[in-house]
Each structure stands twice: as C-alpha cells, then as structure tokens.
Chain A
Amino acid sequence: MAYHFDFGSILDYTPVLIKGIAITIELIAIGAVIGVGVGIVCAWARSFGPKWLRPPVSAYVELIRNTPFLVQLFFIFFGLPSLGLKLTEMQGAIIAMVVNLGAYSTEIIRAGIQATPRGLIEAGASLAMTPLQVFRYVILKPALQRIWPALSSQIVIVMLGSAVCSQIAVEELTFAANFIQSRNFRAFETYFIVTGIYLLLSILLRQVLRSLGWWLFPKKVAR
C-alpha cells in the first residue's frame, strides 16, 4: 500500500514549530555576536598578545576545534553541574555555541590578520597611531573584510549545528521536529518541512550577513 502523505497533521503543531524557529534564531543571534567577539579577542591574543597569553589561547582553540560539538555541549550542560556550575539549557547551549564559534572564528580571523602586509602596520605606526588604533583600523577591519565570506559560512554552520542542542532539551527547531514526529509519527512530513525551514533560515542568515558586510565594509566588499 502506498504511503499517504498527510502534511495537514503538522499544522496542529504550528506553535511548536514557530517557537522552535524563534529559539534557533535567538541561539544563533546571541551566539554569533559573542562568538565572533571572542574570536576577535583570541585572534588578537594569538597574533599580537603578550607571550604568556598565547599558549592558553592556542590550547583553547585546539581543544574546541578538535572535539565534537555534542561532547562540548554535554560537558557544559551535564558535566559542569558536578563542579557546582548549573546552567539552564538555554545558557548551556549559548555558551557552547559561543565557545565553539569563538574557536573557529579565531583561526579564520587570524588568517585574515596574517595576510596584512607588514608595510601597512609600519605605515600606521609612522602616522603616530597607537597600537590599538593600528589593530583596529589597519589590521582588523581589512582582515574582517577579507575573511567575511569564510566567517559567514562558519556562522551558518554553527546555526545548523545548533540542531544538536535539542539533545539537552533546548526547544529549538530540531527539538520541535523530534517532538512533533514522536507525537504524530509522520516522520517524512515533519522532517521535510523542517528541512525546508532550515534551508530558508540559512539563506536568510547568509543574506543578512552579506548585507552586514556591505554596511561594515562599504568599499570593495570581498565576496
């Protein structure tokens, strides 16, 4: 007997889906802003920071980039309470995403920084700019412009990776999908729709990031 598709059965769960979308957006919005912030600070520390700061930052980057996101998430959510640090599932998920994106964006931003010609830094210094000014205007901004597409991709990857947060009962989009599927047993319809929603979210996020790039770097946007 042929399978009868019943997309209507998903409609009853529209509020669950909408809540899921909202939480996924919330996760990536907070996670991306703080995560890239962490990445910038760590990229600075790895390139220009004091000598004593470099090993711990390198250790952090290597540790996070070489372990699975799910394990990091479980460690933060289920492991840290043993040390007395109890987080809600939202806090746990956001911290895990920030820590994860922070490590990856550190390396991406550092690559952009290293591509800065030596002469530019010297030129900045000779114009009596402070080291902070040199970093901000001469190094960081062109570096970000250079690696903006790569960074955008990483942010989209982390957004898609937030699906894993359903495992600690964060009620984001994948949680909504699993929830609906375990109630109406319409696996195909549920995941088909949720796949479509993820695709739309990714396209939307990419578009937002591209516009942000145009706004941040008006001249000669790297694409």
Chain B
Amino acid sequence: MKRRSLLFFLTAALFAAPLASHADSLDDIMKAGVLKVAVPQDFPPFGSVGSDMKPVGYDIDVAELIGKKMGVKVELVPVTSANRIAYLQTKKVDFVISSLGKNPDREKVIDFSEAYAPFFNGVFGTADTKVTKVEDLAGMTVGVTRGSVEDLELTKIAPPTATIKRYEDNNGTISAFLSGQVQVVATGNVVAAAIIAKNPPKKPETKFLIKNSPCFIGLNKDEPKLLAKVNAIIAESRKDGSLNAISMKWLGAPLPATL
C-alpha cells in the first residue's frame, strides 16, 4: 500500500511539474533576460548566413528589434522550414520568426502574431507603367516563370489580349523584364527584391497583388500575455517606422499599407 501511494505521488508530481512551470512565458523570458528566436538561414532576404558566418536578414533584424523593445538579449536559433514549428512546440525557442505563413493546419497547433513582413506574389513594373489591376494588362506582355503559382493564377485571370511569356526559371523572367522583352512581370515580392538589390536601370514596383500570404511570428498556444506583448511591439514598430526601415533594407520596398 505504501508503495502504491508513493507511485501515485510520483505520478502526480510528474504531471504537476509542467503545470507548475507553465506560468506565462513572458515572465520567464523577462526573468532569464534571453529571448530565443528561431530564424531561417537558407532563405534570403529573410535569413541567410552573412560573410561573418552569422545569420543576417529581415527575420533576424525583426528578432533583434523585438528583443530590444522587450529589453532582453536575443539568442538566434537557426532552423529549417521543416523543423521550425517543432522547435517552437518543444519549447526550444520562444518565437518563430522565420517567414512563417498562416494556414489552418498551423493555426491548430500554434498561435500567430500580427503580420510583420509582406510576402506575396503580384505584378511588377517600372514606375511609368500604368497598371493597377488585372484588367489593365490587356494588350500588354507579361513575363512569368512557367509553372509557378503566378503563372497558374494569371493564366486564369488575365484578359485574353494580354500576352503571357513563360520563362524557364526566375532568372529568365528577370532577364526578360530587365532587357525590356516584357513590360511587366508576375512574380514574388522576394524575387522583385532580388532585382532591386542589384540596382538595375529598371526598378520593379508592385502594381497589384495576385496572392497575399504575409509572414507572421509564431508562438506557442495559450500565451496571451506574450502574444499581446509581441503584437504591441509590432504595432509600435510599424508606427515609429523601425519595421518599415527593415523592409526598405531587405526588400527594397516600403511596407504595404494592407499588411
């Protein structure tokens, strides 16, 4: 009998232990003074390895920004897109800032903050190209990478008089745009950012969006205080321009108003 009660006690303790430590992570982070953030290192411009072998990119800057506003040190944990949610669930990190898009399956297992980065595909053209909606593409030549999401969407929605030129890969699409073989291109904002980064004579500007899937900060469920805190920081950073500065630095374009 004694033995059984001991067993019961141990079991109870085992279950109680995680419950007891499950206060609010925000307090834990503030107490430890360290914020652990999962960041990509294989997805420029959001995250890549810099010349000093440290991760650099949009997501890293956002992580540092949030750390600064919370007044804690940031510890970057490089993850891949496959294991980033697992890192969060096993509490190896407090946040996933890793160009994470929202979808219903993910929403079942983790919580999302407000969006912190634009991620979309759309139609891009130079400043003097007058296009604001898909109907304006009538009679124009549009470059697109064959088989991409943009290709499939545009094929469905583009007016019949628009000529869609399909290239083998993003480089072909970029070359066609820069050499003037096509007037506008349909591609991702990250690809457009890569063009802008090379500082070409023709700068692609967003004309309209085809599909929008901005990036959110992922955090564990049932952390209302932490979620409120990070949302407050994002709202504040949008207001004081610090988030916009990160967008200008890595994507070459201001934050879209719709984000």
Question: If the complex has contacts A169-B176, A182-B146, are A89 and B181 also in contact, measured as CB distance less than 8 A?
Answer: yes
Say how far A184's CB is from chain B's closest CB, in angstroms.
11
Q: Chain A interface residue count: which class?
A: 10 to 19
B181 and A77 form a contact (CB under 8 A) = yes
Q: Which residues of B contact A167 (CB under 8 A)?
A: 167-168, 172
A78 and B146 form a contact (CB under 8 A) = no
Question: If the complex has contacts A89-B165, A166-B168, are A179 and B146 also in contact, measured as CB distance less than 8 A?
Answer: yes
Q: Which residue of B lies closest to A178 (CB)?
A: B146
Q: Does B179 contact A (CB under 8 A)?
A: yes
Contact of A169 among B152, B166, B179, B180 (CB under 8 A): B166
A78 and B176 form a contact (CB under 8 A) = yes
Q: Which residues of A contact B180 (CB under 8 A)?
A: 81, 86
Q: Does A118 contact B (CB under 8 A)?
A: no
The total of chain B residues at the interface (CB under 8 A) is 15
Q: Which residue of B lies closest to A80 (CB)?
A: B179
B146 and A86 form a contact (CB under 8 A) = no
What CA separation (Å) do A169 and B167 show in the bound complex?
A: 6
Say how far B185's CB is from chain A's closest CB, in angstroms.
12
**B-contacting residues, A154-191, CB 8 Å:** 166-169, 175, 178-179, 182-183
B165 and A169 form a contact (CB under 8 A) = yes
Convert B172-186 into 0s and 1s, putting 1 for each residue whose CB lies closer than 8 angstroms to a CB of A: 100110011100000
B147 and A182 form a contact (CB under 8 A) = yes
Q: Which residues of A contact B175 (CB under 8 A)?
A: 74, 78
Q: Which residues of B contact A169 (CB under 8 A)?
A: 143, 165-167, 172, 176
Q: Which residues of A contact B176 (CB under 8 A)?
A: 78, 168-169
Q: Does A82 contact B (CB under 8 A)?
A: yes
Q: Which residue of B lies closest to A87 (CB)?
A: B181
What CA separation (Å) do A167 and B167 show in the bound complex?
A: 6
B167 and A183 form a contact (CB under 8 A) = no
Q: Which residues of A contact B166 (CB under 8 A)?
A: 169, 175, 179
What CA separation (Å) do A143 and B22 show in the bound complex?
A: 91
Q: Which residue of B lies closest to A84 (CB)?
A: B180
Contact of B168 among A77, A79, A178 (CB under 8 A): A178
List 11 additional contacts besides A78-B181, A166-B168, A178-B168; criterion CB under 8 Å.
A78-B176, A78-B179, A81-B180, A89-B165, A167-B167, A167-B172, A169-B167, A178-B146, A179-B166, A183-B147, A183-B152
Residues of B within 8 A of A (CB): 143, 146-147, 151-152, 165-168, 172, 175-176, 179-181
